Amino acid sequence: MQTTQYIVLANVYIAVFLGFYILFLRKETFFQLNRAYLLGSVLLSFTLPVIQAGWLQQTDLARQLKIIYLKPVTILAHPVSVAQTWTPMEIIFLLYIFGVAILSIYLLGRLLIVLRIINRADTSAPWSFFRKINLGGSSNPLICEHENIHAAQWHTVDVLLMEIVVIINWFNPAVYLLRKEIKNVHEFIADEGALRRANNKKEYALLLFSQTFETPTNTLVNTFFNQNLLKQRIMMIQRNKSQKKALVKYGCAIPLIALMLILSSAANGGPAGGSVADGKPSQTKQKKHEEPVFTAVEQAPTFPGGMNKFYEFLGRTIRYPTLMKEKKVQGRVFLNFIIEKDGSLSHIKVLREPGYGAGKEAVRAMSLCPKWNPGIQNGRKVRVEYNVPINFALEDVKG
């Protein structure tokens, strides 16, 4: 799986998990379950994209999602001198790294501020960071219990984990909302525990309203008096406990995970990466009397000498079209072809091209390709369909 594809899938999964939480789980009072769901969604979002389950790749949905491509081949136009430019992907990558660097520095700065807060004895606001607790001079047992729960359940670990997730996926608005939801759940959990020591909900709510401490603005520490969360905390304190039948909602996340598994398995599959058992014919239209074409087989076709030899063949054979060089055109050609049972190539066609003779040249070169070792399915040689992208790129050559 390519890095770009992995990042896209991981961020899509984060957004989907978060959407499910907001729609169905956010208002439930199963706070520990909500915490487990949110943290689990982060873990699954980063692990599901790399899962390659063979039995899932055999499902019809996975086959329809699967896109089979060989590695791109790049053809350079050496005789033409053009100004060196950044490709869109290079620009995007540099912007991504810049964002990661800025947020990493920002996180380090906030950590240094936390260390200064810890070492400052005169702070008046109650807070906790890992196992370190400061009550700010307060002797109220409810405040003490609240901060003890934060420390005992290692809420700071969740906070720092989400900071790392935000840094890695800073371009995704969903991660910022996910970070906020986890902070909310932390407060709900601590409030729930502290309420067990309060005489009633009203007493605890009045405690939140009556205090006007100047709380630390650093979001890495857990603070008792958080004005931004005050309204939500009061509302959740007054909310009736969720009924047990609401637990069914959490089970509804299982089909969601199954769909993600299918998508990940489909994205990870393909003949270039290995073999897939129990292959089925592709959906490619076939003429009468033609045998079926497979996209997944037990033993994938191989080029004599290995795939590197195949790419070397294309590099030697394909010529950069003269018209493209004159017009200073770059682009990508997508070729589709079938490897027959005797290893020869047939049905070579252009799926997409930039024009100026690029597609015609790619087809010409591919038609000269030596025979492959055919694919095997159930002990028999079968026809297998492949796609290959060919990049035509201008290169700045200085004498």
Q: What is the DSSP string of 135-176?
A: -TT---HHHHHHHHHHHHTTHHHHHHHHHHHHHHTTT-HHHH
210 part of a folded domain = yes
260 part of a folded domain = yes
Q: What is the predicted pLDDT for the residue at 67?
A: 44
Q: What confidence tens digit (pLDDT) does each residue in 311-328 have?
A: 888 888 888 888 888 888
Residues 35, 172 within the same domain: yes
Give the relative orientation of helices 230-238 and 201-210 as an angle to the nearest 10 degrees: 170
Residues 147, 33 within the same domain: yes
The domain tally of the chain equals: 2
- Of 264, 289, 317, the residue that ends a domain is 264
Phi, psi values for residue 307, rounded to 5°: -65, -30
Q: What is the DSSP string of 289-340?
A: TPPPEESS-SB--B-TT-HHHHHHHHHHH----HHHHHHT--EEEEEEEEE-
**47 near 257, Cβ under 8 Å?**
no
Say which residue the tokens 């009550």 belong to.
135
Residues 31, 151 within the same domain: yes
The range of the structural domain enclosing residue 307 comes to 271-394
Residues 134, 249 within the same domain: yes
Q: What is the predicted pLDDT for the residue at 69?
A: 52
Please state the rounded mean pLDDT for residues 203-217: 65
Residues 251, 278 within the same domain: no
Residues 134, 41 within the same domain: yes
CB count, 10 Å around CB of 70? 19
The chain-wide mean pLDDT, for the chain, equals: 80
Residues 247, 320 within the same domain: no
**34 near 351, Cβ under 8 Å?**
no
Terminal-residue alpha carbon distance, the chain: 39
Q: What confidence tens digit (pLDDT) does each residue in 32-69 have?
A: 999 999 999 999 999 988 875 444 445 554 444 444 45
Q: What is the predicted pLDDT for the residue at 328?
A: 84
36 part of a folded domain = yes
